[in-house]
Amino acid sequence: MDDLNSLLKFGVADLKLGLSSEQIEKLISYLTLLQKWNKVYNLTAIRDPKEMLIKHLLDSLAVVPHINGERLIDVGTGGGLPGIPLAICFPEKQIDLLDSNSKKTRFLIQAKAELGLTNTKVIHSRVEEYLPEPPYDGVVSRAFAAMEDMLHWTHHLIPKGGSWWAMKAQKDFEDLSKLPGLIKIDQVIDLDVPYLDAERMLVKGIKSKSLT
């Protein structure tokens, strides 16, 4: 565990996040919970703790400098990625977690309790059936769906001017020029994930109109 702690601290320093020792401790506690529950609930195909730290925790933390807004929702969050790391990094923001898989939401409820996360709500629902009031400032997703599907399923969660942040592997990259007029691509950001020898990117889109 000391090795994981050191690896996380170096990774956080590389990302220039300046997290407190309490936040580092919570991230490690989350990783421990994920590893423990994964044995029964199959939350992730990755079993090795070091690989989990790099491919899940640091991968999620790499988007932190690029996220804004006060109320965000992580759709298709699975085991809480990137939502739980974001909630730990942004205690002043509301970061809600949505998934339709009841095993995964049971884990998320337990993780929320054990980590003392008061700034997140766990929502067990299909994304297209969830109607938040008021709408969120932004939608975050990690390996959730193709951009066009993501827009179709989540456009009702944010108002005009709201943001989408889609975390993508470069090999999964799509032709953004074919997306509907609902979205204006604001940024395509190359992410440098510490210790990860693979390409990652973050696509930020702004909702340019509401569907009637």
Model confidence pLDDT, tens digit, residues 83-112? 999 999 999 999 999 999 999 999 999 999
Report which of residues 180 and 54 the model is more confident about.
54
Task: Find out whether 90 and 19 touch, Cβ atoms under 8 Å.
Answer: no
| Residue 212 is assigned to a structural domain of this protein | no
Q: Compute the distance between CA of residue 12 and CA of residue 50 in angstroms, rounded to an integer.
A: 15
Q: What is the pTM of this model?
A: 0.95
Domain count across the chain: 1
Q: Give whole-number Cα distances, 2 to 5, 20, 32, in Å.
A: 5, 17, 12
Give SS3 for 124. strand
Would you tell me how many other CB atoms lie within 10 Å of the CB of residue 119? 16
CATH number at residue 47: 3.40.50.150
The pLDDT value recorded for residue 212 is 47
| Residue 155 is assigned to a structural domain of this protein | yes
| Residue 162 is assigned to a structural domain of this protein | yes
Mean pLDDT of all residues belonging to the chain: 93
Q: Compute the distance between CA of residue 83 and CA of residue 141 in angstroms, rounded to an integer.
A: 9
| Residue 95 is assigned to a structural domain of this protein | yes
Q: Compute the distance between CA of residue 188 and CA of residue 166 in angstroms, rounded to an integer.
A: 10
| Residue 140 is assigned to a structural domain of this protein | yes
Please state the separation of Cα 60 from the chain's center in Å. 6
| Domain of 201, in residue numbers | 2-207
Segment 55-71 mean pLDDT? 97
| Residue 129 is assigned to a structural domain of this protein | yes
| Residue 66 is assigned to a structural domain of this protein | yes
Query: CA-CA-CA-CA torsion for 12, 18, 21, 24, nearest 10 degrees?
Result: -30
